[in-house]
Structure 1
Amino acid sequence: MSMIKAYLRQLRPTQSYSLRQRMLTRTALFMCAVLATLSVGVWHYANTSADYSYDRLLSSASVTMLDGINVAQDQVYIDLPYSAFEILQLAPEDKIYYAIYGPNGDFLSGYSDLPIAPTATQQEFEQPRYELHTYKDQKVRFIARHKRLSERSVAGNVTILLGQTTKARDEQMRDTLYAALTTLMVVMALALLVMWIAINRALSPLNWISSQLVSRSPMEEEQLPATRILEVAPLTHAINNYRQQWLGALAAMRDFIADASHQIRTAQATTKAQLEIALSSKDDVIDKQIVSDIYQDHSKLTRLTNQLLVHATIIHRGDRQEFSRLNVHTMLQEVITHAVRDYAHTDIEFEYIPSSDNIIILGDDIVLKEALRNVIDNAVVHGATSHSERHGVIRISLERSESIGYLQIEDNGPGIPKEQRSRALERFAKVGGNAHGSGLGLAIAQSAALAHHGQLTLSDGELGGLAVCFSLPLSQEPSHASFNR
């Protein structure tokens, strides 16, 4: 997966570019390729057309010349008609070369050094043969045609070789090619112009969206107007959703800051009042009770500040979603070890019931550890030892189903009434007998669970107190390790 991501990053352009320019450039390159392909076809058509036209002249002239070859006085008599040369005068700048061979292959008239052979196959007696050769430093198109003489004194085949230079046909080929290419280039230019206009029209909704966003305040709640363009509607819908999420997150941050400020100011005001009472005392000896109250207020302020920082950290890291594969059993062992060390001076007993199967999730190690520590701290503060003389017990258990891992922390304290449990998950909410807490512990735990696409539930525990359960989706990647108790 990492190799694929690296490859995709290489494909991304490192510099900014114009979408309009890129579309026009690629369209122009495509049309140039089409023009090149069509040019080859037009060139072939122009050649074929010119050859067809002037080959007909050669064929007519050769037939006329063969009509002038007869047998007279027991020998071949040649009387070339003037009309044959008039036919070839349709190409006045071209030269004519011919040769006539008798029945035995004897040269009779014309040019004896023509580069085309007078011999022929049986098929060529029915159809003439065309060949292109270089003769006297010129390209010459030849035709070879045969006539059978059946007189008693002279019997056999007479062959005429007739050639014409290719100036006229080359000129016709060039005229046809240039005319066709000019037409194609004009059509391509018009197509590019139409494409440029179409691209500008297609990209105009982006300019409209940009103008709408520039003219609006980031704090404005009004959404972008709906559009009837099917391709643009998802973009405006996504922008509106993003703005709503942004405004919702901003509102939540405002509420959080306001609540946090209120809680901190309240704790500071209480501490300040205690200090003022101590300073206003006329006794030289400060009352230990006042010092104890100041110490407790300071401890509450310190805990509140720490929890606010933890909550902000969880929200920030949860938004980044930089998860890795975590072994929940290993993580819990570390958290429990720290908890046992921190509360070694108390009468609280910790129990851990691991799962028989290995539980692997995709998560943030720091976020989950902070959430678990807050839940354990809550269980210590609000458990049995804080409300009675009973021995405090905190049980941590780990289970799994096919796709969900369950991490539960319960205590033997008084718990939270069912009707108040939903409110207990809100920030700074104090329920039950919790009059001195910050109201952030369970809110932090719920934020961590939601950041991992899970949920947090509160229920009655087997120990008689509150049970806090994290339900976290398991990693879908295979894991072959297992844990045995």
Structure 2
Amino acid sequence: MKAQGSLYRRLLAWLLLPLVMLGTLMLVQAYLDARRTADRAFDRLLEAATLAIAEQVQWQNERLWLDLPPAALEMLATSAEERVFYALFDGDGNFITGNARLPGDPRGDSDTGDTLHYRNVEWHGLPLRQGIRRTRLEDWSLRERFEVRVAHTREGRRALTLSLFRGNLAYIAAMAGLAVIVVLLAVRSALSPLTRLRRAIRARDPRTLAPLELPLPRELAELRETLNELLARMRRVRANQERFIGDASHQLRTPLAGLSARAELALRQDNPQAWHTALQAMQSTSASTARLAVQLLSLTHLNNPEATPNLQRLDLNAIARSATRSALSACHRDGIDIGVETTDEPVMIDGIDWQLEEALSNLIDNARRYGARRITVRVLAAPPTLEVEDDGPGIPAEKRLMVLRPFYRGRDDVEGSGLGLAIVDGIARTHRARLVLSDAGDGKGLRAALRFMGDRR
């Protein structure tokens, strides 16, 4: 399966992305704060400049007169070399003096006291910050209104803004670097138990299935317990496989040793009749050994879920007829009456045809080998059921679970491997069915039924 990327990188991305967004917001906020601080500082200078100019306005020769002190404008001159403009207007808006005819406030004069207004203007292509002070002469006999307009270009404001922003930027960068280091250490620390778990799994011997004993956080402890449950199931599977292999090797060793012994004994004889007898015995042993090998392969195939084919729609009536035809010759040779009872309507299930036929074949073969004289294969519709009923000696109730184990035989005087019912039980589980063993209808013999639990369609 293709890897879905690094968990470490994914955590870093999800943690650092909010930090980057927060850092960006902090930078924007720092710049805005720096600009507001610079504006407030220079607006205070504008206020001081307009006030200094207003204090120098006098009434001489029937008109307003201004003796501008140098300090009034020098306070607005910084190292950024801004351009500073001023103008004095009377109460009717007539220009009195100044170095530029600066525009007035379009809102008009609705105030009666000493007021100061700030605004940003575009004048002759220059962006300016302007302060307009409306006031009156402070004289007991004359209170002439006038207006002082002072403006300067924005170089100094921008320089102060950048200077303040650079100071904040260093602080924010230090905080961001510390936050990144903390996130890296936190992610590495949080993932260290996962690293220890990975190393512990890699260091294990592939042949051992012992449970993992490793202290882990709660979230990873659940993963550890899940792995331990998987290992426990694998231990049970391996134990079953080892037991099955041991039993199978024992079961195959005995007939093969018998074949070798009979062949060696026949070679020591000179009588053709002895040879013939030995060949007959060897033929019978080889036939039973071949059947044992086929059953072993079938049982192994059933225990391998990866090799299970897809289920298909089947009619149980057709399965029963096919299995009965296949067993007819052997039963006829042994003098056994075999028949089949089917339903009028198809009984459909989802299944595998060759497995169901093999299950019926094993049930019929068991009945034939254990002394039945009459065998009936039957199909029932509700629930869908395949039955094999015989009039043989049957199986005692206390042994009906044991006979489902591989290589278990109820009687030692009957030729067989003890795999037939185990194979039938495995086929039943594959089809979500149950193998039910019970007494026959007349109280004599055995009824083996495969009852399917799935819904009919």
| TM-score interval, smaller chain | 0.7 to 0.9
In 1, distance between residues paired with 2:237 and 2:147? 99
Partner of 2:409: 430
2:232 equivalent to 1:241: no
CA change 1:122–1:426 in 2 (3 A) is farther
Letter in 2 for 1:462: G
Deviation at 1:159, TM superposition (A): 3.0
2:457 equivalent to 1:474: no
Deviation at 1:51, TM superposition (A): 0.8
In 2, distance between residues paired with 1:169 and 1:471? 92
Deviation at 1:122, TM superposition (A): 5.7
The farther-off stretch of 152-161 and 251-260 is: 152-161
Deviation at 1:293, TM superposition (A): 3.2
Partner of 2:288: 300
Counterparts of residues 258-273 of structure 1 (less than 5 Å) = 258-273=246-261
In 1, distance between residues paired with 2:82 and 2:354? 98
2:375 to 392, 399, 412: 392
2:40 equivalent to 1:52: yes
Superposed CA deviations along residues 367-408 of structure 1, whole A, max 9, x for unmatched, are: x742x33431232223268625x43212233434xxxxx534
Equivalent pair of 1:351/1:393 in contact (CA under 8 Å): yes
Q: What SS does the aligned partner of 2:303 have?
A: helix
Deviation at 1:303, TM superposition (A): 1.1
2:239 equivalent to 1:251: yes
Equivalent pair of 1:43/1:177 in contact (CA under 8 Å): yes
Equivalent pair of 1:410/1:461 in contact (CA under 8 Å): no
Normalised to the residue count of structure 1, the TM-score between the two structures is 0.79
In 2, distance between residues paired with 1:474 and 1:131? 85
In 2, distance between residues paired with 1:70 and 1:409? 127
Superposed CA deviations along residues 242-298 of structure 1, whole A, max 9, x for unmatched, are: 222222222211111111111111122233344445444433346765544333222
Counterparts of residues 322-361 of structure 1 (less than 5 Å) = 324=310, 326-327=312-313, 330=314, 332-345=316-329, 346=332, 347-353=337-343, 359=349
Equivalent pair of 1:385/1:391 in contact (CA under 8 Å): no
2:395 equivalent to 1:411: no
The farther-off stretch of 45-54 and 75-84 is: 75-84
Equivalent pair of 1:398/1:408 in contact (CA under 8 Å): no
Partner of 2:201: 213
The farther-off stretch of 22-31 and 173-182 is: 22-31
Q: What SS does the aligned partner of 1:462 have?
A: coil
Letter in 1 for 2:21: A
Max Rg structure? 2
CA change 1:356–1:15 in 2 (3 A) is closer
Normalised to the residue count of structure 2, the TM-score between the two structures is 0.83
Q: What SS does the aligned partner of 1:431 have?
A: coil
**When the two structures are aligned, how many residues end up with a matched partner?**
448
In 1, distance between residues paired with 2:266 and 2:307? 49
Q: What SS does the aligned partner of 2:195 have?
A: helix
Deviation at 1:425, TM superposition (A): 0.9
Structure 1 gap ranges (5+):
1-11, 401-405, 476-480
In 2, distance between residues paired with 1:88 and 1:125? 28
Superposed CA deviations along residues 399-427 of structure 1, whole A, max 9, x for unmatched, are: 34xxxxx5342312332111111111111
Letter in 2 for 1:267: P
Superposed CA deviations along residues 179-204 of structure 1, whole A, max 9, x for unmatched, are: 21221111111111122222222222
Equivalent pair of 2:38/2:160 in contact (CA under 8 Å): yes
In 2, distance between residues paired with 1:61 and 1:342? 118
Structure 2 gap ranges (5+):
none
Superposed CA deviations along residues 80-120 of structure 1, whole A, max 9, x for unmatched, are: 46663354357784332012222332222224444x44432
Superposed CA deviations along residues 105-153 of structure 1, whole A, max 9, x for unmatched, are: 2222224444x44432467888644333455765421123333689999
Superposed CA deviations along residues 418-453 of structure 1, whole A, max 9, x for unmatched, are: 111111111111115772122112212333444566
CA change 1:325–1:268 in 2 (3 A) is closer
In 1, distance between residues paired with 2:140 and 2:106? 23
Letter in 2 for 1:459: S
Equivalent pair of 1:352/1:396 in contact (CA under 8 Å): yes
Deviation at 1:304, TM superposition (A): 0.9
In 1, distance between residues paired with 2:440 and 2:397? 12
2:132 equivalent to 1:144: yes
CA change 1:146–1:155 in 2 (3 A) is same
Equivalent pair of 2:316/2:348 in contact (CA under 8 Å): no
In 1, distance between residues paired with 2:345 and 2:185? 66
Q: What SS does the aligned partner of 1:99 have?
A: strand
2:353 equivalent to 1:375: no
